[in-house]
Amino acid sequence: MKTLIIADHEYGVLKPETSKTINAATRLGQAVDVLVAGLNVSEAAKKIASIEGVSQVILVDNVSFEHQQAENMANLVISLSDDYSHILSAATTTGKNFMPRVAALLDKSQISEIIAVVDADTFKRPIYAGNAVATVKSLEDKKIITVRASAFDLQGEQPAVDVINNDNDSAAAGSEFVSKEQAKSERPELTAAEVIISGGRGMQNGENFKLLEGIADKLGAAIGASRAAVDAGFVPNDMQVGQTGKIVAPNLYIAVGISGAIQHLAGMKDSKVIVAINKDPDAPIFQVADYGLVADLFDVLPELESSL
């Protein structure tokens, strides 16, 4: 049997989570096909064809999949599922939207947010806000899996493999795309950024988040926030890092005025280097930080920006 991966893209712009999901899939020890569904996604398909480990790319370029609605995507995946023992997607907003529907319609148990592949039947996934790791073995003949992409590296390159066109039109009755409201920023997307600077309740108000902007611009960083800062109304929800926000693993994570609640740590503790700035020397964030600075952020941030 083979493995099927559903590519993650934003209106044809390929996301790095796809390459990382392919990395996870190669550890299953079988051929890997990648499904690219959307409108005007041929360029994304060509890029995927050159990612190491891919056997072939299935291209479904159809207006029915322009917005990757869960109903349409699930129908498409199920129509292809007979040839595959494993079906994988990144645990992104898109993947979390349609993969549970795929699992339900196939009457299979989904294995969510794996961080390691032990063998073709056994996987590791975090539980209890990342404080424990469960080893899960599935005896089902078809595995439906979402991958926490931050736990895997980007794949290398290979000579391009075949891209096969598929004219499947799996538009579901009773569902239509109405509109999409999305925050726009010139800064990198949180889940793809190599550097992130995040603010917490210690920022005191939303206006003070401007202190992070100059540093972010100089570092080419994305700006995040803790749940406490979001709940207090300092910044919008799409900036939240944590178990109930976005899971990130950048090369550098700078936590400013963040105490380090369990749910926040679950979303960023896999970062390569963690820097914490907090005036409380007993803040839990220092337990995971590689570098910690006990100081008042209002004194430190202007100095840091000036030094940069």
* 276-303 pLDDT, tens digit each: 999 999 999 999 999 999 999 999 999 9
Contact between residue 56 and residue 30 where contact means Cβ atoms under 8 Å apart: no
pLDDT, residue 71, reads 94
Contact between residue 4 and residue 33 where contact means Cβ atoms under 8 Å apart: yes
Contact between residue 30 and residue 39 where contact means Cβ atoms under 8 Å apart: no
Residue 185 pLDDT > 80: no
Rounded to whole angstroms, the Cα distance separating 299 from 152 reads 37
Residue 4 tokens, joined: 């099927």
Residue 129 pLDDT > 80: no
Token look-up 């994570």 returns 253
Contact between residue 60 and residue 28 where contact means Cβ atoms under 8 Å apart: no
Four-residue CA torsion sign, 41, 46, 51, 55: positive
Residue 235 pLDDT > 90: yes
Contact between residue 138 and residue 87 where contact means Cβ atoms under 8 Å apart: no
Helical H runs in 15-69?
Answer: 16-26, 42-49
pTM score, whole prediction: 0.84
Q: Kindly report the CA angle at 81 between 64 and 133, in degrees rounded to 5? A: 105
Q: Is 39 exposed, middle or buried (0-12, 13-18, 19+ CB in 10 A)?
A: middle
* 61-94 pLDDT, tens digit each: 999 999 999 999 999 999 999 999 999 999 998 9
